[in-house]
Structure 1
Amino acid sequence: MSEGDFDGYGGRHVPEPLREPLEQLATAYDEVATTDEFQTEFRDLLAEFAGRPTPLYRASNLSDRYGADIYLKREDLLHGGAHKLNNCLGQALLAKRAGRDRLIAETGAGQHGTATAMVGALLGLDTEIYMGKKDAERQAMNVFRMRLMGAEVNEVTRGNEGLADAVDAALEDFARNVENTHYLVGSVVGPDPFPRMVRDFQSVIGEEAREQFRERTGGLPDAAVACVGGGSNAIGLFHAFRDDPVDFYGAEGGGKGAGSTKHAAPLSKGKDDVIHGMKTRVIDDDVEVHSVSAGLDYPGVGPEHAMFRAIGRCEYTGVTDEEALAAFRELSETEGIVPALESSHAVARAIRLAEDGEHDAILVNLSGRGDKDMETAASKFDL
């Protein structure tokens, strides 16, 4: 694929000053990240710093309730509380080897910003995070964690004060400081090489899950389910199963539900367009980007997901705020596991699949834990 082409999606749609730095990054990634030396250091850090492998857990109470075997890939148990650290370790190692001494990142729910702050502290790199003001307010604990680990957090007040605006601010910073700065993109979005690079660093999720599932059951799941904002946790799960007879299901932020113009579901309700340096699926201009989960509050999606939708490899549907909150509470009550609100969208989609009765074994990527969402949840439930 040239410049990250995914059957017409992806590419490198950027101003001329960014083309050379991105080409240099692509070359460094292709030449360095595949070496035994790099992979050994990366895998060692995944094990010793991040805590991999994460477990595969059969949610027995949920399974008994809905009549299907529901398995959870427990990325919520990774250091930092979410899958984001996998990618951050890979990119930060690459940046340091390329001689960069500064990291910048965007964040929505704060999990990617937290993971970036972690690796910045670990590797001795200056770290600056861009976060929409409204996201910083609803994810105050993660803002504190980032600052505690030495990162500077900039609250973005432009536009809708959300994730898309944080991406814009980070891209502008990168354009001004390309000589010493690595933009540590948090999802499978943006211009090449980011979508394929982030996918490869996150593919450890699916590699582990596939091996664990075969050891546990002797076979493969019928379905794999993940939430989709930018889409890194989903691609990380799906990639190892892409040539297997496993159905893929992506749960997008459906917002307020039927008839609402407030959602974050570009795959199921958007159009083809260019955003943030890539051609992909984008939410229509007349829709207000909204999800109860800050991590799904993005108007586009990774180009590989756009390709999966176009070729029919994955079914993407919106999960409403109400459905996600119900799944958040149900998993907490039935299994003693509190999921992130992002992951709750995937749990809700898996429950719906189990109720349909067409799949006997369903694998869900529990991409993060719900500590960061306690204030939001407490405002929704009368307990």
Structure 2
Amino acid sequence: MKTFLVDDNGYYGEFGGAYIPEILHACVENLKENYIKILESESFKAEYAQLLRDYVGRPSPLYLANRLSEKYGCKIYLKREDLNHTGAHKINNAIGQVLLAKRLGKNKIIAETGAGQHGVATATVCALMNLPCTVFMGKTDVERQHVNVERMKMLGAEVVPVTSGNMTLKDATNEAIRYWCCHPDDTYYVIGSTVGPHPYPDMVARLQSVISEEIKKQLLSQEGRDYPDYLMACVGGGSNAAGTIYHYIDDEKVQIVLAEAGGKGIDTGLSAATIQLGKMGIIHGAKTLVIQDEDGQIEEPYSISAGLDYPGIGPMHANLSEKKRAIVLAINDNEAVRAAYELTQLEGIIPALESAHALGALGKINFKKDDVVVLTVSGRGDKDLDTYLSNKNMAD
């Protein structure tokens, strides 16, 4: 049977694999051999489910947004990941990976972060489980996501500002991998998205798949059927999107719509629309689409959103686009800001800038009146208020 999920060799079609320095081979191999056994063990499942319920506050609601539905002429449900503890979907993955790290006997945790949400989630879980945590974050992002930096420090994490390159997510990831290379024995690297060497993209997708598992049950009780006509999510690395679509990925009656960061426009040179602009390359241990110049040098992406300006894309999503399983739309900065103000004023929900890109895609699809649409609000917008206020003119 044809599947869009990962194959036995760690590939999604021609994307994926594990391209890693020799020094990390044993770590990644150990993870590859054990992650499914651990994730499917009864003790892991029980501890994970209990923390998701009592600590994170799951299931997150599936909310019928009446005024938004009226505006776009269909039935729009919002999957409210913004209501999770720490304010985003990132906590689902952080808890799962830290539980896994403990079972692998690793006692130091490192992470990379862009918008800071994954850093906050990892620091939160490390505080809960009494483990030291180091978070690498580009200096540019440290400045624009100041509140999240202070949250991480308050949680006891060490935040390392990275000053190489564009000083954003790509550079933070490079630095985290460098550190991991120097401390492979006792350190576990919690990757925040469906990127990196196999098995990370599959492991993160599995941990986030609680999102689509809940959507199935919630739609069944609210609509009398367990699938929507459209599933919509934003993609940077792609973890909230992977979680949203996981249990529907091979069900082709469900149309997948992914929204990536168009920045100032895909032909301006200031964009992070990797699926539209990328060419096959290798980034952070995986073969995928990468924004690069003629010489194969990675180009700096740009987005108003710190969580989406990554020059690669998860191999799962690269394959979905290549195989025409997903519609991928580039949403520009001004479209995202406008969509954020619209949701705020129609439904009283302030979304994260990342999620606002998914909302910005609503106007680009011709929905029918009886279409059921599920759109994941991956995070809440508190962290982005300064950006919203200073770019309010985009919403007019």
- Shorter-normalised TM range: over 0.9
Q: Confirm or deny: 8 A CA contact 2:73 2:369 kept in the other structure.
A: no
CA contact (8 A) 1:71 1:361 kept: yes
User: Which of residues 260, 263, 269 in structure 1 aligns to 2:268?
Assistant: 260
Question: What pairs up with 1:205-284 in 2 under 5 angstroms?
Answer: 205-219=211-225, 220-244=227-251, 245-257=253-265, 259-284=267-292
SS across alignment from 1:293: coil
Indicate the residue corresponding to 2:79 in structure 1. 73
Name the amino acid aligned to 1:337. Answer: I
How many residues are matched?
382
Q: Relative to 1, partners in 2 of residues 1:318 and 1:359: Cα closer, same or farther, differing over 3 Å?
A: farther
1:245-304 deviation line (CA, Å, top 9, x unaligned) = 100010000000253111111112211111110001111338541111100010001111
Contact 2:283 2:290 in 1 (8 A): yes
Note if 1:9 corresponds to 2:21: no
For the residue of structure 2 that corresponds to 1:289, the secondary structure is: coil
Shift of 1:359: 7.2
Are positions 1:340 and 2:352 aligned together?
Answer: yes
Please give the alpha-carbon distance, in whole angstroms, between the structure 2 residues aligned to 1:100 and 1:127: 12
**Aligned partners of 1:374, 1:44: CA distance in 2, in Å?**
33
Shift in Å at residue 26 of structure 1?
Answer: 1.4
Give the match for residue 192 of structure 1.
Answer: 198
Match of 1:378 in 2: 389
Matches of 1:296 and 1:169, distance apart in 2: 18
The alpha-carbon deviation at position 31 of structure 1 amounts to 2.1
Is contact 2:266-2:277 (8 Å) kept? Answer: no
**Structure 1 SS opposite 2:134:** strand
Task: Give the superposition deviation at 1:167.
Answer: 0.3
Deviation of the 1:380 alpha carbon: 1.1
Contact 1:105 1:130 in 2 (8 A): yes
Contact 1:210 1:241 in 2 (8 A): no
| Matched residue, 1:313 | 325
Deviation at 1:201, TM superposition (A): 0.2
C-alpha distance in structure 2 between counterparts of 1:230 and 1:65, whole Å: 30
Structure 1 residue 30, shift from structure 2 partner: 2.4
Paired position in structure 2 for 1:82 = 88
The alpha carbon displacement at 1:3 in A equals: 3.9
Measure how far apart 1:334 and its partner are. 0.5
1:211-248: CA deviations, max 9, x gaps? 11121011221100000000000010001112321000
Q: Which residues in structure 2 correspond to 1:319-338 (within 5 Å)?
A: 319-338=331-350
Q: 1:19 to 1:325 in 2, by over 3 A?
A: same
Quote the offset at 1:352 in angstroms. 2.5
Aligned to 1:118: 124
After superposition, the C-alpha distances for 1:170-189 in whole angstroms (9 at most, x for unaligned) are: 00011111111000000000
In structure 2, which of residues 177, 187, 191 is the aligned counterpart of residue 181 of structure 1? 187
| Alpha-carbon contact 1:223-1:248 (below 8 Å) kept | yes
Does the aligned pair in 1 maintain the 2:72–2:367 contact within 8 Å?
Answer: no
What letter matches 2:371 in structure 1? D
The gaps in structure 2 that reach 5 residues or longer are 1-6
The SS at the match of 2:331 is strand
Q: 2: distance between equivalents of 1:228 and 1:350?
A: 15
Distance 1:23 1:199 in 2: 19
**1:206 & 1:225 partners in 2: Cα distance?**
12
Runs of 4+ in 1 over 3 A off after TM superposition: 355-359
Aligned to 2:364: 352
Once the two structures are TM-superposed, the CA of residue 357 in structure 1 deviates from its matched residue by 4.4
Aligned to 1:51: 57
Question: For residues 142-153 of structure 1, what are the structure 2 equivalents within 5 Å?
Answer: 142-153=148-159
C-alpha contact (below 8 Å) 1:350/1:362 kept by paired residues:
no
Q: Is the CA contact 2:74–2:367 (under 8 Å) kept in the aligned structure 1?
A: no
Indicate the residue corresponding to 2:4 in structure 1. Answer: none
Kept in 2: contact 1:188–1:196 (CA 8 A): yes
Instruction: Give me the whole-angstrom Cα distance separating, in 1, the residues matched to 2:55 and 2:137.
Output: 25
Structure-2 separation of matches of 1:254 and 1:10: 24
Q: Distance in 1 between matches of 2:309 and 2:36?
A: 31
Distance 1:176-1:261 versus aligned 2 partners, 3 A rule: same
Q: TM-score, normalised by structure 1?
A: 0.97
* Letter of the 1:42 counterpart: Y
Aligned partner of 2:161 in structure 1 is: 155
Judged with a 3 Å threshold, the aligned counterparts in structure 2 of structure 1 residues 371 and 259 are, in CA distance, closer, same or farther, namely same
Paired amino acid for 1:268: Q
Task: Describe the superposition over 1:151-208 as per-residue Cα deviations: whole angstroms up to 9, x where unpaired.
Answer: 0000101000110000000000111111110000000000011000000000000110
Normalising by structure 2, we get a TM-score of: 0.94
- What are the Cα deviations for residues 27-54 of structure 1, in whole angstroms up to 9, with x where unaligned? 2212222111111111111101111000
